[in-house]
Structure 1
Amino acid sequence: MEPTNEDYTYRAGDIVYVFYRNPHTQDVANIQEAAVVNNPENPNELAVFLYETYYPLTNEMAVYSTEEEAEQAYHHYFGGI
């Protein structure tokens, strides 16, 4: 079974949008484009590849299928871009 996030099923090769916090400035978050890929550590799972790092794709991760959806959520949670 492929992981789902909200009501969308992701597949390897999809481009998604996530919130990324700067590790040097924790109070800054940005919308970042990322790729859905096969998890190299577990081929039966998907991961989000972002900044040369694989993050397991789970329902706990806020992932948006369009940049517009990500911007709306960002504005809602962080007060604007």
Structure 2
Amino acid sequence: METIDPKDVKAGDEVYIIYHNPHTPTVANIKPAEIVQHPKDPNKLALFLNESFHLIEEDDALFSSEASAEKAFNDMYEDLL
């Protein structure tokens, strides 16, 4: 799995994530997201996704390409597909 270390991103980077729908936890999709300055803390970065800001956590899996995210998604969910 080709993930990006959250410590290595900078504002303006585009990444891909596997996004789990908070209202339907069994639904996951690959989504593009942009790395931006956090609107309330200029010392932190955030993911801008679905018109919302999300703090970047150390255990977030960020991918540099949609293909890398798809491979990880398929590897994780192959038994369910």
TM interval, short-chain normalised: 0.7 to 0.9
Q: Which runs of 5+ in 1 are unaligned?
A: none
Using the size of structure 2 for normalisation, the TM-score is: 0.82
Q: Which runs of 5+ in 2 are unaligned?
A: none
Instruction: Kindly indicate which of the two structures has a greater share of residues assigned to strand.
Output: 1
Number of aligned residue pairs = 77
Report the aligned-residue RMSD.
2.1
Using the size of structure 1 for normalisation, the TM-score is: 0.82
Percent of aligned pairs with the same amino acid: 39
Match of 1:50 in 2: 49
Of the two structures, which has the highest relative contact order with CA contacts closer than 8 Å and spacing of 6 or more?
2
User: Where does structure 1 differ by over 2 angstroms across 4 or more consecutive aligned residues?
Assistant: 22-25
Q: Given residue 68 of structure 1, which amino acid in structure 2 is its aligned partner?
A: A
